[in-house]
Amino acid sequence: MAASCALLTQAARSQTAENSEQPLQLDSALLYYKENAGRVQAIEPVVSLKKDFGDLRVLDGTLTIDTLSGATPNGALPAHKAQTFVGPSSRSLTPKPGTKTTFYTASPGSLPEDPRFSETRVAGDVAWTQPLGLDDTVSFGGHGSVEGDFDSAALHGGLSHSFNEKNTTLSAQISEEYDRIQARGGNPVPGSDYELYEHEGSQSKTVSGALVGVTQVLARNWLMDLNYTYDHSSGYLTDPYRILSVLDGAGNVSGYRYENRPDTRGRQSLYWVNKVALGPTVLDISYRRSKDSWGIGSDTVEAHVRIDLRRGMYLEPHARWYHQSAADFYNLYVSAAGPLPTFMSADPRLAALVGTTFGLKFAVEAGHKGEFSLRLEQYQQRPHDQSSGLPELQGLDLNPTLKAVIVQLGWHFDF
Amino acid sequence: MPGPRFAQPTILLGLSLMLAGCSTLGVKPWQREILARPEMALTASPLDAAIDDHVYFSKEAASGGRSFGGGGCGCN
Amino acid sequence: MFLRGIIFAALTLGAATTIRGATDEALDLESFRGKVVYLDFWASWCGPCRESFPWMNRIQSELADNGLVVIAVNVDRERAAAEQFLDSHPAQFRIVYDPQGKLPEKFGVRGMPTSFIIDRQGRVRSRHEGFFLKNRASLAQEVRALVLIR
């Protein structure tokens, strides 16, 4: 008896040496993103490693590096006259002696854009998942990112419980994020006059989120997931670089104001996804409805179809349709007449718009345990309000359609 | 705007699915060969999903929505 | 009460369970009276099964002379998938094919993989849902205890 016990413990020890089949997985991608008209361009390498410690205990780590360049609209409207703006980084609460003030000009008829110079962001994510008994899973993790004017740190945790022979799974997650905003040149006092240049020091915001979801197996080839998310942001939510044009009754520019957003924002989302396998083909169809306390409502419909090409290759076309309504305080410009609105923003991301995406991914097996992929996507965002009745704004594209292209190279490998 | 009008019936659908789940919906544990395929995972390409989320987060007002449990082979 | 249910099911099963195996040999659990049976339900798509096979090989070779029979019931719908799995995870124990899932249904299998340890009198002594690396030693002790006590 004792001899066989010893034999088994030895066997067990040697077994751990020849452990799990896939102990380490690498997922990597190189993203190239480019907008039209000399706007934002980004190159982003991402590397993700997943280590399986056996028995469903997994450690996940991701590193993302983002380098951004190109111009961003500053929120002011184009005009028939040239407009000059001060480059934000040359503005400072404590200007160094000898610092030159930089300016940028929008020629007549063109959209004022802040020509930012190269910015780099580094972000890291770590997550741990493990079972809790036979039917439950627990996970927790953290996220952090740093860039010139913005730092972020977040923690999240979640629990899921399966029942009904694992056909139904309930999930709950909470997350907490803390961000620090230190805009180049200082954080402007929201709503203040652009010329007066009222700035303040470092600002912060917090985002708390919660998610509850149910995943249900509907058939041998059909799985669905329904999630409800609520998140609440509070703090400095204004974009420190965006301004609004102050226009008189005819549409002439009489000045500019920094934007001013409320210091809280609550948002609810309902997300529903269905995955259906039809032979070797897999359909992924999702719908998301979102609404927030700023008055923005949105609908997103998205579909992916994975078409198996055999010999380890597949093609995956993708289509997405997105619609959002404008924020209550969104406006193309602010009127010089009458009192200033409490909250105001001309940020195109808060406008009524429709975004459409068409994409195609091609993947091929690389050796026994790897996969190479190429993904091409085209995104087009068309705002609803692109013109105005004001006489001085005639013939101007006040909010141009955005076009962006994504090229992504991917490599997956199982060690 | 559809707002709460749409949310309510969808939440009810979700809840009734949850309750119905205890009876007839689903497959036997040994019938999960299709669900076990990696492409049938809820987030089959996590990197693509993360990259897309990042792009849309910086260009649109809504964001996120995904979660992490369920489906798959149901093993262990 | 639950265990009694399983035992009852197993006893009634013992009388009537005959399914075709790979080589058209009928699987008759009754015929294994006098031996300890480790009955395992597996599939090619079941991740933990990749770990259970080496363990089952070891336990089978260790205790074959003492009267242990490891029987692994495959529930794959496609035989080819099961055979591909066996190519990379060879089995030195008996494999039975049940693509229609009659046996797991009768045994009340609730998760994959599941194994039953059946004593020499044909009674189900325990069931194990899932296969965990951390439980390999204790599982082996359990099988050994049943096989070696007379």
Per-residue CA distances from A48 to A28, A65, A147, A348, A410 (Å): 6, 12, 20, 32, 11
Put simply, whether A164 touches C (Cβ < 8 Å) is no
Per-residue CA distances from B44 to A256, A304, A305, B40, C102 (Å): 47, 11, 12, 7, 32
User: Per-residue pLDDT for C19 more than 90?
Assistant: no
Q: Tell me how crowded residue A117 is: count the other CB atoms within 10 A of its CB.
A: 9
Q: Report the residue from B22, B42, B51 with minimal CB separation from A31.
A: B51
Give the confidence band of C139 by pLDDT, cuts at 50, 70, 90: very high
8 A C-beta contact, residue A286 and residue A271: yes
Residues of B with CB under 8 A from a CB of C: 28-33, 36-37, 73-76
Closest CA–CA distance from residue B31 to any residue of chain C (Å): 8
Closest CA–CA distance from residue C114 to any residue of chain B (Å): 9
pLDDT for A364 equals: 96
At C7-17, the pLDDT tens digits run 555 554 443 34
Q: At what angle do helices C136-148 and C49-63 cross, to 10 degrees?
A: 30
Phi, psi of A318 (to 5 degrees): -145, 140
Chains A–C, number of C-beta pairs less than 8 Å apart: 40
8 A C-beta contact, residue A259 and residue B21: no
What DSSP string describes A134-191?
Answer: TTEEEEEEEEEEEETTEEEEEEEEEEEEEETTTTEEEEEEEEEEEEEE--TT-EEPTT
User: Per-residue pLDDT for C22 more than 50?
Assistant: no
Chains B–C, number of C-beta pairs less than 8 Å apart: 52
Return the residue in C66, C133, C150 with the most chain A beta carbons within 10 A, the one to mutate for interface testing.
Answer: C133
Q: Nearest chain A residue to C89 by CA: give it.
A: A21
Put simply, whether A21 touches C (Cβ < 8 Å) is yes
Put simply, whether C101 touches B (Cβ < 8 Å) is yes
Q: Which chains touch A (3 or more CB pairs under 8 A)?
A: B, C
Distance CA A172, CA A81 (A): 55
The verdict on a CB contact (< 8 Å) between C48 and B32 is no
pTM: 0.85
Question: Can you tell me the ipTM of this complex?
Answer: 0.87
Q: Nearest chain C residue to B34 by CA: give it.
A: C45
Put simply, whether A94 touches C (Cβ < 8 Å) is no
Q: Report the residue from B14, B48, B55 with minimal CB separation from A226.
A: B14
Q: Where are the alpha helices (DSSP H) in A207-358?
A: none
The verdict on a CB contact (< 8 Å) between B73 and C112 is yes
Q: Report the residue from A169, A217, A218 with minimal CB separation from B69.
A: A169
Distance CA B29, CA A130 (A): 21
Per-residue CA distances from C98 to C51, C78, C86, C101 (Å): 21, 10, 15, 5
Give the confidence band of C21 by pLDDT, cuts at 50, 70, 90: very low
User: Per-residue pLDDT for C29 more than 90?
Assistant: no
Return the residue in A1, A4, A10 with the most chain C beta carbons within 10 A, the one to mutate for interface testing.
Answer: A4
The dihedral built from the CA positions of residue C41, C44, C47 and C52, taken in this order, carries a sign that is: positive
Put simply, whether C112 touches B (Cβ < 8 Å) is yes
Q: What is the mean pLDDT of each run of 10 residues along chain A (415 residues)?
A: 35 36 86 92 95 92 92 92 82 61 88 84 95 93 92 94 95 95 87 87 93 96 96 93 92 93 95 96 97 96 96 96 97 92 94 97 90 97 91 91 97 92
- Cβ burial of A385 (10 Å; 0-12, 13-18, 19+) is middle
Distant-in-sequence, close-in-space partners of A242: CB < 8 Å, separation ≥ 6: A74, A75, A258, A259, A345, A346, A347
pLDDT for B22 equals: 47
pLDDT for A16 equals: 35
Distance CA A395, CA A393 (A): 6
At B11-35, the pLDDT tens digits run 666 565 555 544 568 999 999 999 9
Return the residue in C45, C103, C136 with the most chain B beta carbons within 10 A, the one to mutate for interface testing.
Answer: C45
At B29-64, the pLDDT tens digits run 999 999 999 999 999 899 999 999 889 988 898 776
At C57-116, the pLDDT tens digits run 999 999 999 999 999 999 999 999 999 999 999 999 999 999 999 999 989 999 999 999
Per-residue CA distances from A350 to A14, A263, A299, B10, B48 (Å): 60, 15, 14, 26, 25
8 A C-beta contact, residue A413 and residue A369: yes
Residues forming a β-bridge with A263: none
